[in-house]
């Protein structure tokens, strides 16, 4: 009876307005219109720059694309796990149980990403990996989908380039955990298949690393090149010590994944890094209209902070969530969302990307770059492109 009266009373009036104007009347359909996305990031601690970059990028994506998708309102909930895996897991559980999020996303490092797998599997909701790069993570839950990169994906082209460009003997030095071990293995496999020799494989501790002894050891082995991987945030201190040991002067070329010449820190590394060759999935100097627009908007919204590869992982992660919701026409069932994400393809600021439907891992271009000074600033200037690179270490990809 009341409902009939309300409906009649609504004739000629915007439905939403009429309902909103009546105190005490709750429309169940409207109550469910909000889709919550839980973003779990290290906003404090050693990996805080990763959290800062990803949060800024996710907010930029929403500012540019609005908060409405397929009739639903997207609400972003950001939580700081301080870089501690037990916190990541606790926050993921709370977001699922208390906040009823439709998607969890973010995760600053491999151990943090791994901590949410069981939660996503049990809740049957997507866990979008925006930062971590150890290959096997996506194999640990059918609800993982990755928009960052993997170390085998980014490293193999560096090994290939090295073998083709007169480098015969290499020492590798990597951070001693998942992504570092992936980089070490991928470099050796490709470089030796192409006729090179890895003289030694050195590993620095992940926490509070002290690189001097490893760098001295590498220098003493007199390789043609030293290959480096450390996670985002450690590149500046590593390169400072590389420069202090004068490896380049001793004839050792410095090569690395782009994690080392991270756009978040590159400008502060000084002219000693000019000429360094790296391979990576993203450079803020990437020459495309999409990237120029992204970098300009990001700088403007963030007090001139330059976006790095973490930012682009967060931006594309939000894009993937929006696109999946559009495809399901607003259906938030987690299994349907993951299915919608499989095979999704679009043009990112980094270039064309897609989600491999078999592995739920990202397929993207990898670029070979050289550090150059342009207009008084240091940039990773891309000079070669290896298109549509898949992580070739997944069982499902073989």
Distance CA 127, CA 65 (A): 21
For ligand VNL, give the closer residue by CB, 283 or 332. 283
- Residues forming contacts to ligand VNL in the complex (CB under 6 A) are 47, 50, 108-110, 131-134, 178-179, 231-233, 259
Distance, C-alpha 10 to centroid of its chain: 48
Query: First and final CA of the chain: distance in angstroms?
Result: 63
Between 42 and 334, name the residue whose CB sits nearer to ligand VNL. Answer: 42
* Nearer CB in complex with ligand VNL: 175/340: 175
Measured distance CA(315)–CA(329) in Å, rounded: 21
What is the smallest separation between the CB atom of 225 and ligand VNL, expressed in angstroms?
A: 20
- Select 219 or 394, whichever has its Cβ closest to ligand VNL: 394
CA 197 and chain centroid, separation: 31
* CB of 270 vs ligand VNL, minimal distance in Å: 21
The distance of closest approach from Cβ of residue 83 to ligand VNL in the complex, given in angstroms and rounded to an integer, is: 9
Cβ-based nearer residue to ligand VNL, 153 or 332? 153
The minimum distance between CB 177 and ligand VNL, in angstroms, equals 7
CA angle 159, 285, 360 (to 5 degrees): 60
- Cα 311–312–315 angle (5° rounding)? 85
Alpha helices, DSSP H, located in the chain = 2-9, 15-21, 28-31, 48-65, 85-97, 110-115, 117-123, 151-164, 178-193, 212-220, 235-244, 289-301, 309-327, 334-341
Residues 6+ apart with CB under 8 A from 135: 150, 151, 152, 182, 361, 391, 393, 394
Least distance to ligand VNL from the beta carbon of 109, Å? 4
CB of 280 to ligand VNL, least distance (A): 10
**Which C-beta is closer to ligand VNL: that of 160 or that of 264?**
264
Pick the closest to residue 18 from 29, 28, 7 (CA basis). Answer: 7
Residue 273 phi/psi, 5-degree rounding, is: -90, -5
**Least distance (Å) from ligand VNL to the CB of residue 129?**
9
HSE of 206, CA atoms in CB hemisphere, 13 A? 14
Nearer to ligand VNL, 278 or 348 (CB): 278
Residue nearest to ligand VNL (CB): 231
């Amino acid at each position: 009876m009341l409902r009939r009266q309300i409906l009649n009373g609504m004739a000629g009036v915007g439905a939403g307005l009429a309902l909103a104007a009546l105190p005490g009347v709750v429309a169940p359909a409207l109550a469910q219109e909000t889709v919550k996305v839980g973003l779990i990031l290290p906003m404090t601690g050693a990996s805080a720059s990763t959290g800062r970059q990803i949060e800024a990028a996710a907010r930029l994506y929403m500012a540019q694309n609005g908060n409405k998708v397929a009739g639903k309102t997207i609400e972003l909930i950001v939580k700081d796990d301080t870089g501690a895996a037990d916190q990541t897991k606790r926050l993921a559980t709370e977001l699922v149980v208390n906040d009823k999020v439709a998607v969890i996303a973010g995760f600053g490092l491999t151990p943090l990403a791994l901590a949410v797998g069981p939660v996503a599997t049990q809740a049957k909701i997507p866990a979008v990996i925006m930062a971590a790069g150890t290959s096997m993570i996506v194999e640990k839950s059918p609800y993982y989908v990755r928009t960052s990169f993997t170390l085998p994906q980014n490293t193999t082209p560096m090994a290939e380039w090295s073998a083709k460009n007169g480098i015969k003997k290499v020492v590798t030095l990597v951070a001693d955990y998942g992504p570092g071990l992936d980089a070490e293995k991928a470099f050796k496999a490709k470089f030796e298949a192409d006729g090179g020799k890895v003289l030694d494989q050195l590993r620095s501790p992940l926490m509070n690393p002290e690189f001097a002894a490893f760098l001295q050891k590498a220098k003493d082995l007199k390789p043609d090149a030293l290959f480096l991987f450390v996670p985002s945030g450690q590149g500046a201190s590593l390169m400072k010590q590389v420069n202090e040991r004068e490896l380049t002067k001793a004839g050792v070329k410095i090569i690395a994944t782009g994690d080392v010449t991270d756009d978040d820190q590159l400008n502060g590394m000084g002219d000693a890094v000019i000429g360094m060759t790296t391979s990576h999935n993203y450079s803020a100097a990437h020459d495309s209209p999409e990237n120029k627009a992204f970098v300009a908007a990001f700088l403007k919204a963030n007090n001139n902070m330059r976006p790095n590869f973490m930012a682009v992982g967060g931006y594309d992660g939000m894009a993937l969530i929006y696109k999946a919701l559009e495809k399901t026409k607003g259906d938030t069932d987690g299994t349907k969302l993951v299915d919608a994400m499989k095979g999704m393809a679009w043009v990112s600021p980094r270039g064309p990307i897609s989600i491999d439907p078999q592995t739920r891992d990202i397929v993207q271009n990898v670029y070979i770059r050289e550090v150059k000074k342009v207009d008084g600033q240091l940039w990773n200037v891309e000079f070669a492109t290896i298109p549509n690179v898949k992580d070739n270490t997944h069982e499902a990809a073989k």
